[in-house]
């Protein structure tokens, strides 16, 4: 692992204003977020604050919030967000301490669905020649190698079932090499990775949940068993 805790100390913020208005951001400021496993999944409803959180964590670690790897920190004109510039980490290991102490030692990648193609283009993955999902897979194969902090926002958006499984294989390899992953997701497949920590983001702030107790897993299980039970509520 690289980091064991993230936190943000902010004084004089307006709680009615984004991002301070988002419950999980207030939780980060009051309690911090502890990482107890090499892979942490953030789950929660649309608008609960997952992207706000993963972007700020990526920025706090020195990754480009537009997406891309540690070497592309200065590739965009985009400054850090008000939250990202205040995020701090506590190291989990001596490797983590080295990375936090020196920008040059910091390794990682931020995969952001909306700008992934642009970021992959900058990384030399020629997205014109490959599909969206193929571009993602090329990045996992070619970039998820060095121990570092890998932050992802809904990677499943571009991936088929079998590609999601392939991604889990890459995450497993990355973790065995000393890497760490923080991933926002709605996927019951990804969150089933053995040993991963699942943190639910919502009105309550942040809390750990077991995979079998996740609402999204329960809904998918029931939907696949009987789609009509759900469809009758939304179709005439």
Ligand X SMILES: Nc1ncnc2c1ncn2[C@@H]1O[C@H](COP(=O)(O)OP(=O)(O)OP(=O)(O)O)[C@@H](O)[C@H]1O
Q: Which does 185 bind (CB under 5 to 8 A by kind): ligand X, Mg ion, none?
A: none
Task: Please state the closest distance from residue 104 (CB atom) to Mg ion, in A.
Answer: 31
Angle at 112 between CA 133 and CA 56, to 5 degrees: 160
Least distance CB 186 / ligand X (angstroms): 6
Q: Is 20 exposed, middle or buried (0-12, 13-18, 19+ CB in 10 A)?
A: middle
Cα angle: 164, vertex 115, 47; to 5 degrees: 75
Cβ proximity to ligand X: between 24 and 120 the closer is 24
**Beta carbon nearer to Mg ion, 6 or 113:** 113
Give the number of other CB atoms < 10 A from CB of residue 104: 9
Least gap, CB of 21 to ligand X (angstroms) = 7
Residue from 138, 146, 184 nearest 43 by CA: 184
51 sits near Mg ion (criterion: CB under 5 A): yes
| Residues binding Mg ion: number (CB under 5 A) | 2
Whole-angstrom distance, CA of residue 182 vs CA of residue 54 = 7
For residues 51 and 187, which CB has a smaller minimum distance to Mg ion in the complex? 51
Q: In the block, which residue shows the tokens 């390794």? A: 107
Q: Which is nearer to Mg ion, 88 or 186 (CB)?
A: 186
Residues near ligand X (CB under 6 A) are: 18, 22, 44, 46-52
Q: How far is the CB of 226 from ligand X (least distance, A)?
A: 25
Which chain residues interact with Mg ion by CB under 5 A? 50-51
């Amino acid at each position: 692992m690289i980091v064991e805790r993230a936190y943000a100390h902010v004084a004089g913020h307006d709680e009615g204003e984004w991002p301070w208005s988002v419950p999980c951001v207030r939780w980060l400021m009051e309690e911090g977020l502890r990482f107890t496993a090499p892979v942490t999944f953030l789950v929660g409803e649309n608008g609960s604050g997952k992207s706000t959180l993963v972007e700020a964590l990526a920025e706090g670690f020195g990754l480009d919030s537009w997406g891309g790897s540690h070497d592309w920190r200065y590739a965009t004109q985009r400054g850090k967000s008000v939250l990202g510039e205040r995020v701090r980490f506590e190291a989990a290991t001596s490797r983590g301490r080295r990375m936090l102490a020196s920008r040059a030692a910091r390794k990682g990648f931020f995969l952001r669905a909306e700008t992934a193609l642009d970021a992959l283009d900058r990384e030399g993955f020629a997205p014109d020649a490959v599909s969206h999902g193929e571009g993602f897979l090329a990045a996992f194969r070619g970039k998820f190698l060095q121990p570092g902090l890998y932050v992802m926002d809904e990677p499943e958006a571009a991936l088929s079932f079998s590609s999601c499984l392939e991604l889990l294989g890459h995450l497993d390899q990355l973790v065995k090499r000393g890497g760490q992953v923080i991933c926002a997701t709605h996927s019951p497949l990804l969150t089933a990775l053995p040993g991963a920590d699942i943190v639910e983001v919502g009105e309550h702030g942040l809390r750990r949940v077991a995979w079998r107790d996740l609402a999204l897993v329960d809904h998918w299980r029931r939907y696949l068993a009987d789609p009509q039970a759900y469809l009758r509520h939304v179709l005439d």
